[in-house]
């Protein structure tokens, strides 16, 4: 008998097969036993009939508990009422391990309980779907950059200095010295892009932000891309192409998972057509003020502002030319309007807000030194970074996309805590 996966059952109607997995649910009517099996690739119902069963099999079925691990054998049958179109007529059962009473039941559990049991919660159908979509997005991102000729050069995690501001650094002991966990791989990527032209990194990123919001993790994954001779407008186009590529891939390959999540995919489909609006910071502020926000020119957008603004559009939108005063030290001022920088954020629709931050970088060594001083960053630590402007400086630009925020939007989730296998939050380090 062939051992197969649930994803392979569809084409095997009429055949005898064996499946290995876990019992995620069961019920018995006395003469019929319905075993709901999940095997990590999908879910299927196995129907056992007492009349047709050797007594030992029937007795073993009575020993099953939720999440017991089993090998089942049976005949594949077409079943139009099942979501997958098939079920198994059970013929055999081998118990691998009878599970103790499973803590996650059918009743509504609070988020804290579920997070405390995250190691088990990930087995639920919804969490499985989210993690598959996460995988699809991460893999599509890598493929997109591979196809575009970008070289993956990962940046170090132990770093001596800040990139995105000094307030949210995680400090760790480093032998007799100290180090910081990386807030962004960007500075190193600027070095590798001067070597390899187009580069990207994809890794964990750490920020000790004391924000308890639905968008913040203390450890998250960010893909950052950087290219020599790319200006801020080409940078924006690259971001749009990348997002379109990812959306098409997920819509194409993860339709079943989106359905499990009951995701309304209308906005995802619209977004997959591209043509993302591009709005100047100053125009975005004016638009928000008209919508009733008390935001002033020069302020950064709050999460509420982003939500209000993105609800005006049916697809992601770029905001570009933020005030230099509220942005990172390395962003290049617009030569014709130096109050604003050649940067952009990409805000996801449906109230999700910022998923990408990017900019053209300062390529002038004197200006960069000045900015480093203004931001009170340690001059010595930035000597190698300044070297990139001393030895063959070129216009260059790049961006970073947050994986978890992208997963949250694409899956339509309330909170980023469900977008990563084991979330790290202000008040959570376990399991």
Bond into 69 cis (ω within 30): no
Beta strands in 130-288 (DSSP E): 151-152, 158-159, 171-174, 177-181, 198-206, 219-228, 278-280
Binding partner selected for residue 405 from Mg ion, ligand 4AD, none, CB under the kind-specific 5 to 8 Å limit: ligand 4AD
Pick from 200, 261, 271, 252: nearest CA to 419? 261
Q: How far is the CB of 355 from Mg ion (least distance, A)?
A: 9
Choosing from 21, 42, 349, 402, the residue that interacts with ligand 4AD (CB under 6 A) is 402
List binders of ligand 4AD among 198-227 (CB under 6 A).
Answer: 207, 209, 216-217, 220, 222, 224
Whether 93 and 60 have beta carbons less than 8 Å apart is answered as: yes
Pick from 326, 324, 322: nearest CA to 347? 322
333 binds ligand 4AD (CB under 6 A): no
356 binds ligand 4AD (CB under 6 A): yes
Q: How far is the CB of 222 from ligand 4AD (least distance, A)?
A: 5
400 binds ligand 4AD (CB under 6 A): yes
Q: Classify 137 as helix, strand or coil.
A: helix
Stretch that binds ligand 4AD, among 35-43, 112-120, 245-253, 400-408 (CB under 6 A): 400-408
Stretch that binds ligand 4AD, among 123-131, 242-250, 348-356, 362-370 (CB under 6 A): 348-356
190 binds ligand 4AD (CB under 6 A): no
CB atoms within 10 A of CB 366: 10
Stretch that binds ligand 4AD, among 49-57, 145-153, 374-382, 399-407 (CB under 6 A): 399-407
Nearer to ligand 4AD, 22 or 352 (CB): 352
Backbone angles phi, psi at 247, to 5 degrees: -65, -45
Per-position DSSP letters for 217-259, written without gaps between them: -SEEEEEEEEEET--HHHHHHHHHHHHHHHHHHHHHH-HHHHH
d(CA 423, CA 430): 8
Summarize as ranges the residues that interact with ligand 4AD (CB under 6 A): 163-164, 184, 186, 207, 209, 216-217, 220, 222, 224, 354-359, 398-400, 402, 404-405, 416
């Amino acid at each position: 008998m062939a051992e197969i996966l649930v994803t392979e059952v569809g084409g095997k109607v009429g055949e005898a097969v064996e499946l290995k997995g876990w019992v995620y649910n069961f019920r018995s009517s006395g003469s019929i036993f319905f075993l709901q099996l999940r095997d990590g690739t999908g879910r299927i119902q196995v129907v056992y009939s007492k009349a047709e069963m050797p007594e030992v099999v029937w007795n073993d079925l009575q020993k099953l508990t939720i999440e017991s691990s089993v090998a089942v054998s049976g005949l594949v049958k077409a079943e139009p009422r099942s979501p997958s179109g098939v079920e198994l007529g059970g013929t055999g059962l081998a118990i691998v391990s009878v599970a103790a009473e499973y803590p996650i039941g059918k009743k509504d559990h609070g988020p804290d309980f579920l997070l405390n049991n995250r190691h088990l919660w990930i087995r639920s159908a919804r969490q499985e779907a989210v993690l598959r979509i996460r995988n699809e997005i991460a893999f599509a991102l890598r493929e997109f950059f591979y196809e575009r000729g970008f070289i993956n050069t990962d940046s170090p995690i132990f770093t001596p200095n800040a990139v995105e501001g000094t307030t949210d650094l995680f400090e760790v002991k480093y032998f007799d010295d100290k180090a910081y966990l990386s807030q962004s791989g960007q500075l190193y990527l600027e070095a590798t892009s001067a070597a390899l032209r187009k580069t990207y990194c994809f890794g964990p990123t750490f920020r000790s932000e004391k924000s308890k919001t639905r968008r913040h993790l203390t450890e998250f994954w960010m893909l950052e891309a950087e290219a020599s001779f790319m200006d801020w407008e080409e940078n924006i186009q690259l971001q749009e192409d990348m997002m379109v590529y990812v959306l098409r891939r997920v819509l194409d390959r993860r339709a079943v998972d989106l359905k499990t999540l009951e995701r309304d995919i209308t906005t995802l489909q619209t977004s997959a057509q591209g043509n993302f609006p591009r709005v100047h910071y100053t125009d975005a502020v004016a638009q928000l003020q008209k919508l009733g926000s008390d935001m002033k020119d020069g302020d950064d957008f709050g999460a509420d502002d982003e939500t209000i603004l993105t609800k005006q559009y049916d697809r992601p939108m770029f905001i570009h030319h933020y005030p230099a005063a509220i942005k990172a030290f390395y962003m290049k001022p617009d030569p014709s309007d130096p109050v604003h920088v050649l940067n952009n954020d990409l805000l996801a629709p449906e109230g999700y807000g910022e998923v990408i931050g990017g900019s053209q970088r300062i390529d002038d060594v004197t200006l960069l030194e000045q900015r480093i001083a203004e931001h009170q960053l340690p001059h010595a630590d930035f000597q190698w970074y300044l070297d990139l402007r001393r030895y063959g400086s070129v216009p260059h630009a790049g961006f970073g996309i947050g994986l978890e925020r992208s997963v949250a939007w694409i899956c339509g989730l309330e909170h980023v805590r469900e977008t990563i296998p084991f979330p790290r939050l202000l008040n959570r380090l376990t399991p």
